[in-house]
Chain A
Amino acid sequence: MSQSETLVSLANLKKYFPLTGGVFRKIIGMVHAVDDVSLDIYRGETLGVVGESGCGKTTLGRTILRLLEPTDGTITFMGQDITHLKGSDLRNIRHEMQIVFQDPMASLDPRVTIKNTVGEPLLINGIARGPKLRAMVLDLLQKVGLTEDHLNRFPHEFSGGQRQRICIARALALNPKFVVMDEPTSSTDVSVQAQTLNLMKDLQDEFGLTYMFISHNLSVVKHMSDRLAVMYLGKIVELTPYDIFRKALHPYTFALVSAVPVPDPRFSGRAVLLKGEVPSPINPPIGCRFNPRCIFAQEICRTDEPPLRDVGDGHLVACHFAGELDFGKSSQMEYAQTAEAEAS
């Protein structure tokens, strides 16, 4: 990971969705999906993004790619401010950034063959046509582990894992620098998931890609990422280069980690640390957004919003008491230490 070169830089990025109601569809509120996110993504790294559903991780990914118009803030991509780009300028920059969606069946046109699906970006951008296009498509398909027989088939003829490979091939067609992976394996089985994750790591090395890897599965994100951002109600609460299963400084991160089922019966029966559910992002809590569910909440947490501050080595935490809280030991941590001791 080269710390020096920043590929994507976000400054105070906000995305609000208006909420309408009444006879005249007046705006009656705002859903604060992404609220004041500042972040740098370095070239060649994988930035993982985790959080519960509705925390804004998908919206963040789509806003970076300008698939959604940001409400406020700036997005800088390869040193260029792309927040307000339009027309051909935007199209040109879009070569460099792609996305792989969660549900591969929904993101492939059922009436278009694989050859045309994967070839479409090449054709539209005038990169190749005719026999050359076919050769390029075949090359892409072979890179993701599909063969020539698959060229003229339709999406329904493939299994879930293969469909996801097709989506990955399509995303890589224009040789992008930055790919957002939006829950790419959440609809697949563990054995297929392992194949897809391995493939994505291989492709990252081969094409020199930078990934933003969005998922709600903590062990998958941890496996894939160099750095990890934990989101809660539209905000980044912790951004860490460390393994969150071992070192978590925000109480939310720790609670999230301790909810992951441990695949070892010796460490079952943990306490549930998170009571209740995520509050509505329409009227987020005042002060620290996590304060109603936080067992360590103090008076200051209910009034002042903690800034995301650096506690050393690029480890950013948005908590008034970062580093001062004693969470105890999670069963996940005990499991990891025991498994490690047994392995060595």
Chain B
Amino acid sequence: MSSSEDLVLSVKGLTTNFYTYEGIVKALDSVELSLRRGDTMGIVGETGCGKSVTAKCILRLIEPPGRIDGGQILFSDRDPKTGETNEIDILQLAPEEMLTIRGNKIAIVFQDPATYPNPVFRIGAQIAEVVSLHQDLGREVLEIRIRELEDSVKNSSSAEHQAKVREQIEHYVSMLENPPKPDKKYARKAAWAKAVDMLRLVRMPSPEQVANQYPHELSGGMRQRALIAMALACNPSILICDEATTALDVTVQAQVLNLLNELKKDIGASIMIITHDLGVVAETCNWVMVMYAGTTVESTSTKELFEHPVHPYTIGLITAIPKLHENKERLDQIQGTVPNLINPPTGCRFHPRCAFATEICSRERPSLEEVRPGHYVACHNPQGNV
């Protein structure tokens, strides 16, 4: 897709395989993806289509027997102060360099809020850990010390003491521009304060109290909010939500999605939402990518996708949802099941289930092409008005 746009992430030809005893599982085959700065993008598809694997590749979390066998993941890192951008290929980074990106510049919220937080640490401590690992808290620590000294000035009656403390405050203020490395005790305090701030940001009721609680004391929705707070603690450029609302009730899901929509304005991060629910995509995303069996099949703006779906799989996916306004006896269904990726179908991976398949579909793999302005499809026989 065009390079002139301000892309924060661009994935090209990403190929990932899992080397199992049964054979090589071709989980991702030349996945193409681009995320513009400030966008919310949805990745939709059925179980096993490679949505989560894509997210894990971006964070380099693929473990053996899995291996990333090709492609590029270009992350354009913008310095918040200077505004300069610096393009990095994530796949070329050393594991230590990856530590400065994972959880810091690119953060992820996983599906199951019950298993993901560590049950033996307090919520606040888990968020504070992320903060103290990735951030140099020098400035925050100085601010805390200045505030403490200011309090002591107010409370003291001796003029001599006050003058001494004022001098100390001025000294600290002068250091604010170029803060020194903080000492451990104050750094911990600053990280905790930041954790409470993050909990407040995600609209947690009584954040000070929640920071002191353990994960089992929170409900599912609150836990998921705490995890979003943890992911946002370092002001990431990209927030990936991997089925973040799937385990929640609709009412709680609506609260979390609303929160994400609101936070988008506050934090300026680009968000990637991985889901199998097209309703969630319609509510939150402005761009959407449909995946099938490890390939990108369609990628366009959300409005365009719902108005003019072009790929037969996308059309099938949209018509398979029970509609609120219809009283149909039977649902339209996509025939067959998702293929085994050890032996994926030749050519277009969707052709055995496709009603519009022709001879070329089994022979040649379609490439991702722009069929309408801003609408990319990988299909030999695109449907609808193209």
Q: Tell me the nearest residue of chain B to A55, going by C-beta.
A: B249
Q: Is the CB of B331 within 8 A of A197?
A: yes
Contact A263 to B321, CB < 8 A, known contacts A189-B47, A195-B333, A256-B251: yes
Q: Is the CB of B325 within 8 A of A191?
A: no
Q: Name the interface residues of A324-344: CB closer than 8 Å to any CB of B.
A: 332, 335-337, 339-340, 343
Q: Is the CB of B329 within 8 A of A262?
A: no
Name the distance in Å between B256's Cβ and chain A's nearest Cβ. Answer: 10
Q: Name the interface residues of B254-313: CB closer than 8 Å to any CB of A.
A: 254-255, 257-258, 261, 276-280, 282-284, 302-303, 306
Verify if B98 is at the interface (C-beta below 8 Å from A). no
Number of interface residues of B (CB under 8 A): 45
Q: Is the CB of A219 within 8 A of B306?
A: no
Contact A256 to B250, CB < 8 A, known contacts A195-B333, A264-B306, A265-B302: yes
A190 contacts which of B249, B257, B280, B317 (Cβ < 8 Å)?
B317
Chain A residues with Cβ under 8 A from B193's Cβ?
none
Verify if A245 is at the interface (C-beta below 8 Å from B). yes
Name the distance in Å between A9's Cβ and chain B's nearest Cβ. Answer: 28
Please report the C-alpha to C-alpha distance between residue A223 and residue B333 in the assembled complex, in whole angstroms.
Answer: 14
Chain B residues with Cβ under 8 A from A160's Cβ?
47
Q: Is the CB of B337 within 8 A of A192?
A: yes
Q: Name the interface residues of A165-221: CB closer than 8 Å to any CB of B.
A: 189-195, 197-198, 201, 216-220
Q: Tell me the nearest residue of chain B to A191, going by C-beta.
A: B334
Q: Name the interface residues of A213-257: CB closer than 8 Å to any CB of B.
A: 216-220, 222-223, 243, 245, 255-256
Name the distance in Å between A38's Cβ and chain B's nearest Cβ. Answer: 25
Q: Is the CB of A190 within 8 A of B321?
A: yes
Please report the C-alpha to C-alpha distance between residue A197 and residue B331 in the assembled complex, in whole angstroms.
Answer: 8
Verify if B253 is at the interface (C-beta below 8 Å from A). yes
Verify if B374 is at the interface (C-beta below 8 Å from A). no
B252 contacts which of A191, A223, A277 (Cβ < 8 Å)?
A277
Contact A201 to B330, CB < 8 A, known contacts A189-B46, A265-B302: yes
B334 contacts which of A194, A197, A267, A277 (Cβ < 8 Å)?
A194
Contact A262 to B250, CB < 8 A, known contacts A223-B322, A277-B221: no
Please report the C-alpha to C-alpha distance between residue A297 and residue B208 in the assembled complex, in whole angstroms.
Answer: 30
Verify if A323 is at the interface (C-beta below 8 Å from B). no
Please report the C-alpha to C-alpha distance between residue A218 and residue B329 in the assembled complex, in whole angstroms.
Answer: 17
Verify if B91 is at the interface (C-beta below 8 Å from A). no
Chain A residues with Cβ under 8 A from B261's Cβ?
269
Verify if A261 is at the interface (C-beta below 8 Å from B). yes
Q: Is the CB of B337 within 8 A of A159?
A: yes
Please report the C-alpha to C-alpha distance between residue A332 and residue B334 in the assembled complex, in whole angstroms.
Answer: 25
Q: Is the CB of B250 within 8 A of A260?
A: yes
Verify if A121 is at the interface (C-beta below 8 Å from B). no
Q: Is the CB of B306 within 8 A of A261?
A: no
Q: Is the CB of B324 within 8 A of A261?
A: no
Q: Is the CB of A259 within 8 A of B251?
A: yes
* Chain B proximity mask over A250-291: 1 for CB below 8 Å, otherwise 0: 000001101111111111111010110100000000000000
Verify if A52 is at the interface (C-beta below 8 Å from B). yes
Please report the C-alpha to C-alpha distance between residue A220 and residue B222 in the assembled complex, in whole angstroms.
Answer: 27
Verify if B332 is at the interface (C-beta below 8 Å from A). yes
Q: Is the CB of B258 within 8 A of A263?
A: no
* Chain A proximity mask over B36-54: 1 for CB below 8 Å, otherwise 0: 0000000000110000000
What are 11 inter-chain pairs, A to B, with CB distance below 8 A?
A52-B250, A53-B249, A190-B317, A194-B331, A216-B249, A219-B321, A243-B327, A259-B250, A335-B325, A339-B325, A340-B325
Question: Which residues from chain A sit less than 8 Å from chain B, CB to CB?
Answer: 52-53, 159-162, 189-195, 197-198, 201, 216-220, 222-223, 243, 245, 255-256, 258-270, 272, 274-275, 277, 332, 335-337, 339-340, 343
What 7 A-B pairs come out closest when comparing CB atoms? A261-B279, A336-B325, A223-B322, A259-B254, A194-B333, A189-B46, A194-B331
- Excluding A270-B254, A274-B251, A339-B324, 7 further A-B contacts by CB distance (< 8 Å) are A194-B320, A197-B331, A219-B322, A222-B322, A261-B279, A262-B324, A264-B282
